[in-house]
Amino acid sequence: MQLRVGMVGYAFMGAAHSQAWRTVNRVFDLPARARMALICGRDAGKVSEAADRLGWDASTTDWRDLVTRDDIDVVDVCTPGDSHAEIALAALAAGKHVLCEKPLANTVSEARAMAAAAAAAQAVGVRSMCGFNYRRVPAVAMMRQLIADGRLGVVRHVRATYLQDWIVDPQFPLVWRLQKDRAGSGALGDIGAHIIDLTQFVTGQLISGVSAVTETFVRERPLPAGSSGLAASVDGDGHHPSVGPVTVDDAAVFVARLDGGALATYEASRFATGRKNALRVEINGSLGSVVFDLERLNELEFYDATRPTAEQGFSRILVTEGEHPYMSAWWPPGHIIGYEHSFTHQMRDFIEAVATGVDPTPSFSDALQVQLVLDAVTRSAELGSSWADVEPALV
Ligand code: SOE
Residue partners of 36: CB distance under 8 A and separation at least 6? 5, 7, 18, 21, 22, 54, 55, 56, 57
Say whether pLDDT at 236 is over 70.
Answer: no
Q: Is residue 393 part of a domain?
A: no
**Which of 133, 149, 174 is the last residue before a domain boundary?**
133
Q: What is the pLDDT of residue 394?
A: 78
Same domain, 248 and 296: yes
Residue nearest to atom 10 of ligand 1 (CA): 191
Q: Is residue 388 part of a domain?
A: no
Q: Which atom of ligand 1 is nearest to the CA of 339?
A: 10
Mutate to test the pocket of ligand 1, among 134, 172, 191 (most ligand atoms within 8 A of CB): 191
Confidence of residue 293 (pLDDT cuts 50, 70, 90): very high
Same domain, 188 and 91: no
User: Is any atom of ligand 1 closer than 6 Å to the C-beta of 185?
Assistant: no
pLDDT-wise least confident of 37-41, 231-235, 365-369: 231-235
| % the chain with pLDDT above 90 | 95
H and E: helices and strands count for the chain: 11, 17
Counted domains in the chain: 2
**pLDDT tens-digit readout, 349-359:** 999 999 999 99
Q: How far away, in angstroms, is 100 Cα from ligand 1 center?
A: 14
Which region holds residue 55: left if phi is over 0, alpha if psi is between -120 and 50, else beta? left
Provide the residue range defining the domain that includes 257.
135-225+235-362+371-380
Confidence of residue 225 (pLDDT cuts 50, 70, 90): confident
**pLDDT tens-digit readout, 304-336:** 999 999 999 999 999 999 999 999 999 999 999
**Which of 133, 166, 185 is the last residue before a domain boundary?**
133
Q: What is the pLDDT of residue 139?
A: 99
**pLDDT tens-digit readout, 155-197:** 999 999 999 999 999 999 999 999 999 999 999 999 999 999 9
Same domain, 266 and 322: yes
Same domain, 322 and 198: yes
Question: Is residue 266 exposed (0-12), middle (13-18) or buried (19+ Cβ within 10 Å)?
Answer: buried
User: Is any atom of ligand 1 closer than 6 Å to the C-beta of 191?
Assistant: yes
Question: What number is the ipTM of this complex?
Answer: 0.95
Say whether pLDDT at 37 is over 80.
Answer: yes
Q: Is residue 391 part of a domain?
A: no
**Which whole number is the average pLDDT over 125-131?**
98
Confidence of residue 229 (pLDDT cuts 50, 70, 90): very low
Same domain, 212 and 250: yes
User: Is any atom of ligand 1 closer than 6 Å to the C-beta of 315?
Assistant: no
Residue partners of 202: CB distance under 8 A and separation at least 6? 140, 143, 144, 147, 281, 283
Say whether pLDDT at 213 is over 50.
Answer: yes
